[in-house]
A = this chain, B = another copy of it.
């Protein structure tokens, strides 16, 4: 193999792969990066048997070939290079990375035992990458990071007519987002949130294809394709919110309320619970901790209804309000220990609703 590539393009592709497929340290082959040079250019691929990602880049191909090298040293070296062009060439049992005045060489791993990336599931539909990234960034906030209950570590991605709906919950909070969906088929999959979180950072604007079959879920964009095994979704989340008993609706500036939550949140007990009291044209936040002291702050709000208050964990309020930054937010409060629903007063795409469960107030 012998190819010449623009350094920044190849460095970006290698870094993207390393982030999407962090690699299992135990097996160097699965921590490897498969480079395939064909007349069409160069393809980088990684597969840890759960996630499989392939990225294509243009290249001047002097000699075709297929090699497997350690992924992280390759990505680190390419990222640190300042020269505009870089040449990858097999020299004996090494892959040499050559740039003017510099030569780095990585050991070749056995490419024949690498599983490759395989064909993608069929295209189920397409979405706009920018809106999808925004919707993913919102929903992954509500997913659990506790691997002991895998089903709560996923985001349910489901098509319904002309909308793609995403739902995630860790049982204490739930996020729902939806955006326009250009259907070619259907999708209903529980996808690991950790991968979607990274994809939310990488997805460009423009068309993104959504791939799905019974066992796998994938996204394709601009010469890149990422697929993953889906989680067991037989116990699927509900994606409709039933509000039976809303007795108070509050509207306020999301950033102003988030600022107050951040400050009063400094004065909470070990559970991080603060009191939200609904007053006359204002929300009053209260925190108290025997050691830290006590805090009280008021934020102007439109209030409709007679409810007096509710208690929440401050970090859930912070996550919920972050989804509506720069906007007016509506809180629909139900009595007792029923959920409170946050939504935008003037919704934009992707539409988002965030559900937070109340807590018992501090004693």
Contact = CB atoms under 8 A, between A and B. Distances in A.
Interface of A: 70, 73, 76-77, 80-82, 94, 101-107, 259-260, 262-264, 266-267, 291-299
Nearest to A284: B101
A73 B267 CA distance: 8
A77 B298 contact: no
Contact of A293 (B101, B107, B295): B107
A263 B294 contact: no
Contacts of A105: 293-295
Given A102-B260, A107-B291, A260-B102, A266 B80 contact: yes
A325 to B, nearest CB: 15
Contact of A103 (B77, B94, B266, B297): B297
B263 A297 contact: no
B263 A104 contact: yes
Given A70-B292, A292-B73, A102 B259 contact: no
Given A77-B266, A103-B295, 15 more contacts: A70-B292, A82-B259, A101-B297, A102-B295, A102-B296, A102-B297, A103-B297, A104-B264, A104-B266, A104-B267, A104-B296, A105-B293, A105-B294, A106-B292, A107-B293
A77 B104 CA distance: 51
A76 B266 contact: yes
Contacts of A70: 292-293
Contacts of A81: 263
27 contacts: A70-B292, A73-B266, A73-B267, A73-B292, A73-B293, A76-B266, A77-B266, A77-B295, A80-B262, A81-B263, A82-B259, A94-B293, A94-B294, A101-B298, A101-B299, A102-B260, A102-B263, A102-B295, A102-B298, A103-B297, A104-B263, A104-B266, A104-B267, A104-B293, A104-B296, A106-B293, A107-B291
A273 to B, nearest CB: 17
